[in-house]
């Protein structure tokens, strides 16, 4: 059954070969599937923008997104190092790494993470980001899990770079910049929904994604409509999270 599940995930990732796809949703699916397949507590993705600056583009939970942002703001952490070196960075016990990344390890401890494994999104010499796996339990990834994690990162990288090859080298930069711009709208929509439906921002994001899927709309398009007030999720949508 696990092999069938893994096969299904790679088929899902192969959708990146379609000319037009929702980059933000694709990367969030990747983060979610990493948690489901690899047995880690959370996953996040950092991708470089057109100015060669790392940006948080997807995370499996709100606390993970905030921790990834903190890494970028303080310019320290295993995920930042992974991108810069193009090599995996595995920290089996963050408490033992406090001398290397003091601010990051303290922030990670606050949200309950004790181990992190950062995998490069790399094709040959081209590094476009890092796939980061967080766990609430200390310990290393076993060899099989690490290989699957890197394979998922590689599949995502190949898919994104394939888009650039098909539509000239600038297309990836354009798509990623559009995705990063969309993040602003998505964060605003999360805030609107959280206040309107009296839920936390993590639940608000889940509702936003479910709403986009049920309407067959892009996440960013629905987010913009919600921010502008031209569309609202049903009043009972928050109750669906607990059904």
| Residue-number span of the structural domain to which 152 is assigned | 2-166
Question: Residue 44 pLDDT > 60, yes or no?
Answer: yes
Cα 235 from Cα 237, distance rounded (Å): 6
Q: Which of 140, 166, 192 is the last residue of a domain?
A: 166
* pLDDT on residue 18: 63
Per DSSP, which regions of the chain are E strands? 42-48, 54-59, 89-91, 115-123, 126-135
- For residue 1, name the pLDDT band (cuts at 50, 70, 90): very low
SS (HEC) of 92-120: CCHHHHCCCCHHHHHHHHHCCCCEEEEEE
> pLDDT digit string (tens) for 129-139?
999 999 999 99
Residues 208 and 101 occupy one common structural domain: no
pLDDT above 70: percentage of residues in the chain:
86
CATH code at 150?
3.30.450.40
Q: Which of 166, 190, 217 is the last residue of a domain?
A: 166
* pLDDT on residue 22: 75
DSSP reduced 3-state for 164: helix
Beta bridge partners of 121: 129
Residues 23 and 136 occupy one common structural domain: yes
Residues 143 and 227 occupy one common structural domain: no
> pLDDT digit string (tens) for 155-170?
878 767 765 665 555 6
Residue 121 lies in a domain: yes
Beta bridge partners of 122: 127
> pLDDT digit string (tens) for 85-134?
999 999 999 999 999 999 999 999 999 999 999 999 998 888 999 999 99
Residues 185 and 146 occupy one common structural domain: no
Q: Which residues of 22-45 are buried (b: 16+ CB within 10 A; e: fewer)?
A: bbbbbbbbbbbbbbebbebbbbbb
Cα 55 from Cα 139, distance rounded (Å): 27
* pLDDT on residue 243: 42
Residue 75 lies in a domain: yes
Residues 75 and 147 occupy one common structural domain: yes
Cα 13 from Cα 197, distance rounded (Å): 33
Number of domains in the chain: 2
Residue 118 lies in a domain: yes
Question: Residue 227 pLDDT > 80, yes or no?
Answer: yes
Residues 140 and 87 occupy one common structural domain: yes
Chain position carrying tokens 């639940």? 203
Residue 241 lies in a domain: no
């Amino acid at each position: 059954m696990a092999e069938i599940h893994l096969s299904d995930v790679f088929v899902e990732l192969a959708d990146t070969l379609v000319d037009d796809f929702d980059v933000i949703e694709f990367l969030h699916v990747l983060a979610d599937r990493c948690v489901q397949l690899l047995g880690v507590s959370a996953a996040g993705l950092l991708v470089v923008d057109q100015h060669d600056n790392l940006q948080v583009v997807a995370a499996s939970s709100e606390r993970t997104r905030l921790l990834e942002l903190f890494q970028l703001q303080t310019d320290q952490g295993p995920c930042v190092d992974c991108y810069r070196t193009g090599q995996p960075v595995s920290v089996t016990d963050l408490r033992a790494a406090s001398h290397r990344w003091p601010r990051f390890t303290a922030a990670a401890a606050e949200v309950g993470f004790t181990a992190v494994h950062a995998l490069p999104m790399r094709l040959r010499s081209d590094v476009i980001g890092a796939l980061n796996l967080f766990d609430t339990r200390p310990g290393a990834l076993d060899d099989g899990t690490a290989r699957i994690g890197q394979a998922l990162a590689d599949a995502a990288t190949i898919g994104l770079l394939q888009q650039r090859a098909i539509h000239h080298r600038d297309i990836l930069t354009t798509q990623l910049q559009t995705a990063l711009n969309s993040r602003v709208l998505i964060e605003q929509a999360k805030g609107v929904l959280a206040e309107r439906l009296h839920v936390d921002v993590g639940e608000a994001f889940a509702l936003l994604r479910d709403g986009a899927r049920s309407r067959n709309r892009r996440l960013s398009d629905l987010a913009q409509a919600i921010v502008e007030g031209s569309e609202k999720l049903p009043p009972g949508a928050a109750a669906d999270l607990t059904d």
